[in-house]
Structure 1
Amino acid sequence: MYKFLKKLSIISIGLILLGTITFAEDTRILKFGDNLEFGSVKVGDSVTRDLILYNEGNATLNISKLRFHQRIQAVYAGDWSGAIEPGESQHISITFTPNEVKIYNGLLYVNSDRTNSGNYSRVLKGEGTPLDDTNCTKILTFGSHLKFGQVNIGETVTREITLYNKGTCPLTIEKFRFHDKIKDVFSGDFSGVIEVNGSKTATITFKPTENNRYSGLVYIQSDRTNGGEYSRALIGEGIDNNNLPVIALIGNYEVNITKDSAYSDAGATAIDDEDGDITSDINTTSNVDTSVIGTYEVRYNVKDSAGNIATEVVRTVRVIENTLPTSISGVITNFTTGTKLSNATVSVNGQETTTNAQGEYNLTNMAVSNRIVVSVSKDGYATNSEIASLSNTNQTVQDFNIALLPIAFTYELVDPTQEATIEVPNSPARLQLSANSLVQEDGSLPIGSIRILITPIDPTQDIDIMAGDMLTRNGANQLVPIESYGAVNIEMFDADNNPINLREGESATLRIPIFSRGGSIPNSIPLYYFDTTSGLWIEDGQATRNGDYYEGTVTRFTIWNADYLFDNVTINGCVEDTDGNLISNASIRLEGVNYNGQTYAYSNLNGQFDIIAKRDGNAILVAQKGVNTSSSKTITPSSDITLNECLVFGNSVQTQGLVAKLTWGSDPRDLDTHVVQEGGYHIYYSNKGDLNSPIYLAALDVDDTSSFGPEVFTAVAFPA
């Protein structure tokens, strides 16, 4: 045997020597030294620092030029062009010569033929100080943003803005400048000197010319030395006398009420720009009959003294059977570690609760609905939402467990008025923001630094970590499933934890890492964002593939998903226990094996169901009722099919079994599931067990050997 192995080794070496040698592609990897700090320099003096460039690639790196951001190019100087050989570096002198008493911070860009992505710039920081070395400062601060409210077209409203000098030397205000998009409707000016610790008040006038909402910046030009804010947001709305009155509903647009109970409508309010409050003039019609189960409408209409009729508002009222109190309960965990999370906030339609020390929550007395969005948030974790279902026959949902991903990267944006590029370490994920693109909920510019939370989502690890149930509406307004190639969760907050979002009309550029279970990856793909109200994914834009990421523009900060509507077929099946009793109202779940998607359905009174699957996609099908889970089936349907056998629970759905699912990444290709019990009980890939055998009462339903998983073990019960 030894001689045979020895010969085999020699043959193997010979095969290796005869193989093809493949050379790596040329790489030109540009790396930098640290940002350059020049400190405080007297006006007119010069200080020089060295910028170090490194080539960590295997081919010659060519530097074409250095470029300074336009706001600092007058005071920073330095240039170099040439080649840097692999493993070598180049020192370049950068000179700072301030011409005013102020702070000069900005970017130096290095243009080259580098092949690596990531930053290609460095921050330069310096401050010009007075010649007399008195450390004189001129610090300009403001009052609040100015809100003018609704103003009739052609009329004027004024607001005052107060300017403060918090420095140690007199501050000179030169003039006001209004952004181009608002300069025709906002006006005002001021010039003069503000003494130390003094203030001056200026008047801003708003005179709208159109029926439109106006929002923009006024810039105060001065000889300030601080690098802080120098603009304020101006917000106003122009209206005309022919505006329609507006009806606002009190309470929810959809209401559920039990049969034979008294219905008391919450009503509505109405406001007119000329007549004021005309709530008493609202005409309300209702056909609600609580003695008969059904769907009804309450309609609200009103007109003002000029005869302008408001848009009708309708409330939907559903009369349902008397039911027992409803509840949804479960455990909130850390997706990465499985740790149970305390003090997480769980909410449904404004009703909130907090998890206890064991991560448990319980929400009660909710209206029945087949789509209940359960949202979870906790400091340090990306928010997540899942879809529950409550009905007259299924009033309690237990073990509705939700996992949260830890925040991948937190970035502090010190100046929200400036453009920014945020890159997530060890990930292609990246977010690019334009200057002055961020707003608070009321539409005003944010004040102070912004906390940006970015978390890439890998659906190949577990599709359950994706928010919702992977459904969207198609052109025919039908609910249809989508397949994910990766997602990114973006959240932003100011210092007071108030949410920050994109200004209307603005967009940001987002890179989403690609995660695939194999097969072809599309070069372009639709973008979807998660709507926390409906629990659906909403299509909004396109993204283009570039290597290992998709890049596209987004219009809000939420969860963004790179998805496709897949070609689907219908799977018909049934659910029963081992005695052949059909099981109604069981939740049916189908999860992709070679694609990132899932769909849901419920069994009817006869234990039958139909569920959508991806055509020619490999998927696992399983049923659940309460804490019990059925056996699973693996299918690869090319057309509509009816399963030959039902999904099987234990002898009774009151007998709790177990389903264990093992998933992993692309490497290694194979992991194995082993279930061992005393007395020789051992289920694994060579002995998969049998659900109907009294020896096992369990089986390894799915054994995967091609990366990702899953491997699925099902036990309807365990031997005594």
Structure 2
Amino acid sequence: MFISKLGMLRSVAFGGFFALLAACGGSSDIGTSSGDGSSTSSSGAPGGTPTSQQVVVLMRGLRGELQLSAGGQTFSINTNGYVPLRNLPLGELTGAIGAFPDQQQCLFTETQMLTSPLDSETVAVIECDDLLTLTGKILQPGTETPLPGAVVTVRGYTDSAEPVTLVSDTVGDDGIYLLDDILLIGFSRMTLTIEHPDYELFSLPISDSPSELYQDKNYTPTDPANSATFSPTEDQALTLGTVEIDLPSNSLRTKSGEIPTGMVTVRTSPLDASFAPELLPGAYLNSEDEALESFGAASVRFFLGDEELVFAENAAATIRFPIAVRAQGSAPASEQAYYFDRESGYWVAAGMAAISGTADYELTADRSTVWGVFSSYPTVNIKGCVRDMNGNPVKDTLIITQGQSYIGRLLDYTDKYGTYSVRARTNSTVFLYARSDVASQTFSVTTETADVIRSSCLVVDPNTTTITLTWGENPADIDSHLYGPNGSGGNFHIYYAAKQTTVNNTTVYLDVDDVTSYGPEVITIPRFPSAGTYRFYTHLFSGSSNMFASPTRIALFTGRVEYVYFVTEAPGTTGTRCWHVFDIEVDDALTPTVVEQSKYVSDTFCSGNAN
């Protein structure tokens, strides 16, 4: 499938420049001089009557060979720049683009009235641009199980035009999406969006100038926390977990403008980016491209069957959701409310939010989407490079800065040289890491008011495994403990007192050890150094609360799949502070299999005394 932009054509008419342009109703046309000998080929003597003409084509961006037909002839073009088409018949001709290179699309973009180096006053411009193919699987959270029915959409954006839906695909039973022949030309920004009526909205910027034109990546949307059904023709005061909704009767409409008949389902989730900034869709940017800090958010979406509903004109709900844990005590009493616009990929300002009671924000919501409370902040750039395990540049890799001293994250992609320039808040501490289907270590970076130039590259590998631990304000300190085979019959133990070890030339790291609430603590295994069982535990080190109440969240990324776990029980009367989260069984081919444990065990396993 080829997607053409307005004004870009596969064929044009040569000759009669202005007259034919009007006759074609605005379609592009290319005129040529046809009689004075300065821009035509003549087989007669100089000054005689010309018997043929010349057209000049200006090629841009061609990678390979293009076939162009005109005047009964076929021309093979394999170079960029000015290309003459000689010995064409006189009069009006039609030029048509035939075959062009795989993973490219070539189109006439304009006709220029100019003097070329080849003595033609008019030049046909053909611009070739790359065609991107995106594929992979949409998976259910924490599993390798396909998620059929998900709709995956890629949109492109220019500085002045409305978003263009470039391609969309509905996932089948195998979970595979295929978005091919995505035309990249002319777009300054692109997004990928995943929508499913039973899962949270997922949206992520993708590179608008990728170096690799075939990309295979898996994605996993998250489950909504709560749902309820209700009659849309009655006033509603709904409480779903920690999200409250006051909805007047007859506020909702189908996309065709009708009042819904039957029961409507509302699905909600409080989205606290304190624990996982990736829970919020988009890139923490508003429509002015300003970076945003989160103080709390919630997804509030309404459905009639699988159809997402809209609000009637001038109708709105009042919603309340918790202030983000890391912002409690410092959140502004009143701040800008935003909703996420899946069409633009931006967060859009919409009124103000105010603190209601002591721990909730309240705002007016007039659409079915994700709502949040944000403020903008100034940024600097962190610049650096990404390499693989062999020192080669890695292109098209997602680079993330995540606030340590604030709630937010910003994104960039590496270019064909493996370099990046990603924004971060000024005068702050941020975490810097790479994620796609590869992963890097996580580094802490301090910013001031000038750009930061990193001398060492991030190192990524498709076999990298990361374990990220986050928690709330109390307990103050929860620790990570990883055991694995040391290659000599025993086990290594990674924790705060032994932050790295090397086995079979592979170094396993505790990248970040947080002791002042929230985390994250991140363990990175660049690749599994040997077969065997790798066991992961969390330990309550200090604080008056417990890991269940906190709550405690563990995100495991391995084998191109992310698994998310929580401490699901209070400690009870056993007094143990050690929670066995999961094991990773690694076979002789170093292929991992995750086995959930989710149980309290003896504190011995979290003390360094277990083998």
Same fold (TM over 0.5): yes
Q: CA deviation at 1:551?
A: 1.1
SS at match of 1:366: strand
Name which of structure 1's ranges 628-637 and 671-680 shifts more when overlaid on structure 2. Answer: 671-680
Q: Give the whole-Å Cα distance in 1 for the aligned partners of 2:58 and 2:226.
A: 51
- Map 1:78-157 → 2, pairs under 5 A: none
How big is the shift at 1:578?
Answer: 5.8
The 5-angstrom pairing of residues 500-515 of structure 1 reads: 500-515=309-324
Q: Which amino acid is 2:224 matched to?
A: P
Contact 1:541 1:554 in 2 (8 A): no
1:534-553 counterparts in 2 under 5 A?
534-546=344-356, 547-553=358-364
The alpha-carbon distance between structure 1 residues 716 and 378, as it changes in their structure 2 partners (threshold 3 A), is: same
1:658 paired with 2:504, answer no
Structure 1 residues 297 and 363: CA distance shift in structure 2, 3 A = closer
Q: Does 1:593 align with 2:404?
A: yes
Tell me the residue number matched to 1:471. 285
Give the corresponding residue for 2:150.
345
Checking the alignment, whether the CA contact within 8 Å between 1:382 and 1:407 is kept in structure 2 is no
In structure 2, the residue corresponding to 1:572 is in which secondary structure? strand
- Would the aligned equivalents of 1:704 and 1:710 in 2 still touch at CA under 8 Å? yes
Q: With the length of structure 1 as denominator, give the TM-score of the two structures.
A: 0.52
Q: CA deviation at 1:486?
A: 1.9
**How far does residue 660 in structure 1 lie from its aligned partner after superposition?**
2.6
Instruction: State the match for 2:484 in structure 1.
Output: 677
- The change in CA–CA distance for 1:699 and 1:449 in structure 2 (over 3 A counts) is closer
The residue that corresponds to 2:128 in the other structure is 320
Letter in 2 for 1:687: A
Deviation of 1:487 (Å): 1.6
Whole-Å Cα distance in 2 between the matches of residues 282 and 436 of structure 1? 49
Partner Cα separation in structure 2 for residue 421 and residue 290 of structure 1: 65
Q: How many residues align?
A: 418
Counterparts of residues 210-225 of structure 1 (less than 5 Å)? none
Against the structure 1 CA distance between its residues 558 and 281, is the aligned structure 2 distance closer, same or farther, given a 3 Å change threshold? Answer: farther
Deviation at 1:598, TM superposition (A): 0.9
| Residue number among 442, 452, 469 corresponding to 2:256 in the alignment | 442
Q: Distance in 2 between matches of 1:561 and 1:387?
A: 19
- Sequence identity percentage: 24
Question: Given the superposition, is the C-alpha separation of residues 435 and 643 from structure 1 closer, same or farther in structure 2, using an over 3 Å criterion?
Answer: same
- 1:622 deviates by 1.1
Alignment of 1:483 onto 2:293: yes
Q: Say if 1:629 and 1:659, in contact at 8 Å, map to a contact too.
A: yes
1:223-269 per-residue CA deviation (whole Å, 9 max, x = no partner) reads xxxxxxxxxxxxxxxxxxxxxxxxxxxx9784798xxx93599xxxx
Deviation at 1:420, TM superposition (A): 2.4
- Report the CA distance shift for 1:716/1:381 in structure 2 as closer, same or farther (over 3 A): closer
Contact map agreement 2:308 2:368 (CA 8 A) in 1? no
Three-state SS of the structure 2 residue aligned to 1:517 is helix
CA distance in 2 between counterparts of 1:438 and 1:403 reads 25
Deviations 1:607-632, CA, capped at 9 Å, x for gaps: 432211112332210124x6332232
CA distance in 1, matches of 2:499, 2:510: 5
CA–CA distance in structure 2, aligned partners of residues 435 and 514 of structure 1: 28
Taking a change above 3 Å as real, the CA distance of residues 452 and 320 of structure 1, as seen in their structure-2 partners, is same
Alignment of 1:44-59 (within 5 A): none
Q: Which has the bigger relative contact order, CA under 8 A and spacing at least 6?
A: 2
Contact 2:297 2:371 in 1 (8 A): yes
Alpha carbons of structure 1 residues 338 and 689: separation in structure 2 relative to 1, 3 Å:
same
1:660, 1:712 within 8 Å by CA — same for their partners in 2? yes
Structure 1 letter corresponding to 2:286: T
Query: Partner of 2:546 in structure 1?
Result: none
1:333 aligned counterpart, secondary structure: coil
Inter-CA distance 434–674: structure 2 relative to 1 (3 Å threshold): same
Q: Which runs of 5+ in 2 are unaligned?
A: 14-21, 31-56, 62-105, 112-124, 154-164, 531-611
Q: Would the aligned equivalents of 1:421 and 1:433 in 2 still touch at CA under 8 Å? A: yes
- 1:633 matched to which residue of 2? 443
* Contact 1:327/1:365 (<8 A) preserved: no
CA distance in 2, matches of 1:683, 1:640: 35
Of 356, 366, 373, 2:182 maps to 366
Distance 1:290 1:659, change over 3 A: farther
2:10 to 248, 262, 274: 262
Q: Distance in 2 between matches of 1:434 and 1:676?
A: 55
Aligned AA (2:221): A
What is the root-mean-square deviation of aligned Cα atoms in Å? Answer: 3.6
- Provide the TM-score with structure 2 as the length reference: 0.60
> What corresponds to 2:207 in structure 1?
389
Q: Distance in 1 between matches of 2:130 and 2:506?
A: 43
2:101 maps to 1:292: no
Rg larger in structure? 1
Listed as ranges, the gaps of 5+ residues in structure 1 are 1-250, 266-279, 300-316
CA change 1:385–1:438 in 2 (3 A) is same
Name the SS for the 1:464 alignment partner: helix
Per-residue Cα deviation, 1:136-184 (whole angstroms, up to 9, x for no partner): xxxxxxxxxxxxxxxxxxxxxxxxxxxxxxxxxxxxxxxxxxxxxxxxx
Structure 1 residue 582: Cα displacement: 4.4
